[in-house]
Amino acid sequence: MHRIQLHYTLSRDAGNRLIRNPLPEMLAAVAQEGSISGAARALGLSYRHVWGALKRWEEQLDAPLIVWGKGQAAQLSEFGEKLLWAERQAQARLAPQIAALHADLERAFAVAFDANAHVLTLYASHDDALGLLREHAAADSLHLDIRFTGSVDAIRALNEGRCTLAGFHTLEGAAPLSQTARTYKPLLKPGLHKLIGFARRTQGLIVARGNPLGLQRLSDVAAHGARFVHRPLGTGTRVLLGDLLDREGLSPDALGSFAHTETSHAAVAQAVASGAADAGLGIEMAAHARHLDFVPLVHERYHLACLKSSLDQASTLALRTVLQSSAWQACMAELPGYAPALCGQVLAMSAVLPWWNFSAQKHVLRATR
């Protein structure tokens, strides 16, 4: 059994990965370019450097990484392909934690050198637009300390005083007896909580390029016996899945075992891209980032919840200003599957979440007196 030590660098230049290691970058470049020289040009390195580094890794791992056929295009060996797949899957699964670490370091240094900086702690359901918002807000000296967790855990963190804002998402027009209503209604109290508008986004099936199984709805997934990757309990997407199964009259186990779960939309998309799953429920942006197909199913609203008492805090006001700016809303409008929806506006829960019927409640109270 091999023990592999890969040393990663936290970097702004690593794209969606945020952390970098030269070995998987070289393997990916060889796979894409088909030659060592092409990989070297793509990476801005010399042929000698790339060739020598790959040879040293092969010696340390005692396994071939490249099929070195003379006069033929360079290809990854089976081991090289598995190593690259494992690294990509790990990056996708750890992306929220890596982003949080990056934000922690950035915030700590920014606050140390900027007396006018604001810090806002946000526990939130995983959302790619929030990561972009963090970068956008930092330019205005607002540092978002985002901890990605499930929607349910995010609201609990708010109620326990561990954060100022909680990000969660709900199906548009959720019925009073829906799983959405049953999940979130006990956690939120009109008069105590307020909602700040953030986004309208689309959730659907993330499937392989070309949608080879022709999946258009969850019942197709069940009928084909397709391998479905789930999200964990406590996530907003798992709650959404329950409502979608109810809509189609499917049982909770219609999509097979819940054994395969992934912690983020990006990790679901990577599981499909790698061939480990045929489909999963997620956002369009995650599918787009990995060149996968996307079958839209429903629209939902992403909300930022806070206590009414924190609405006038300087950090909350600063965030609302950023959200209401034309620059941010134009940025969000360009994201696949997103649209700005009442961005930065303070919303009454009874208007946005339709499962409270105050007129009926008042009637019941009068009848019992």
| Phi-psi domain of 42 (left: phi exceeds 0; alpha: psi -120 through 50; beta: other) | alpha
**pLDDT at 58 (0 to 100):** 84
Host domain of residue 24: 9-88
User: Do 170 and 76 reside in the same domain of the chain?
Assistant: no
27: pLDDT confidence band, cut at 50, 70 and 90?
Answer: confident
For residues 277 and 326, state if they share a domain.
Answer: yes
122 and 258 belong to one structural domain: yes
Q: Both tokens of residue 21? A: 């290691």
User: Looking at the structure, do residues 80 and 211 belong to the same domain, yes or no?
Assistant: no
- Of residues 85 and 323, more confidence is placed in 323
Q: Looking at residue 1, what is its pLDDT?
A: 46
H helices of 13-46, in order, are 22-33, 36-43
165 and 203 assigned to the same domain: yes
Same domain? 42 vs 164: no
Percentage of the chain with pLDDT > 70? 83
CATH number of the domain to which 24 belongs: 1.10.10.10
Do 83 and 146 reside in the same domain of the chain?
Answer: no
Does 254 map to a domain? yes
Give whichever of 41-55, 74-88, 167-181, 282-296 has the largest mean pLDDT.
282-296
- Is 103 a member of any domain? no
Same-domain pairing of 183 and 237: yes
On whether residue 63 sits in a domain, the answer given is yes
Q: Smallest Cα–Cα separation from 118: which of 101, 137, 141? A: 141
Is the pLDDT confidence value at 135 over 80?
yes
**DSSP assigned state of 261:** B
Distances, alpha carbon 238 to alpha carbons 183, 265, 311, in Å: 11, 12, 30
CATH number at residue 160: 3.40.190.290
Structure-token match 């499917």, residue found: 250
In a domain, 328, yes or no: yes
Distance CA 276, CA 268 (A): 10
Contacts (Cβ under 8 Å, ≥6 apart) of 111: 117, 119, 143
Say if 235 falls within a structural domain: yes
**Which has more pLDDT, 301 or 22?**
301
> Domain boundary residue among 52, 68, 88?
88
Judged by DSSP in three states, 164 sits in coil
Q: What is the 3-state secondary structure (H, E, C) of 105-147?
A: HHHHHHHHHCCCCEEEEEEECCCHHHHHHHHHHHCCCEEEEEE
| Structural domain count of the chain | 2
Average pLDDT over residues 171-184: 91
**The amino acid at 70:** K
- pLDDT band at residue 271, thresholds of 50, 70 and 90? very high
pTM of the model: 0.70
Q: Kindly state whether residues 170 and 65 are assigned to the same domain.
A: no
Has residue 2 been placed in a domain? no
* Pair (36, 154) in one structural domain: no
Contact present, 337 and 289 (Cβ < 8 Å): no
pLDDT at 6 > cutoff 60: no
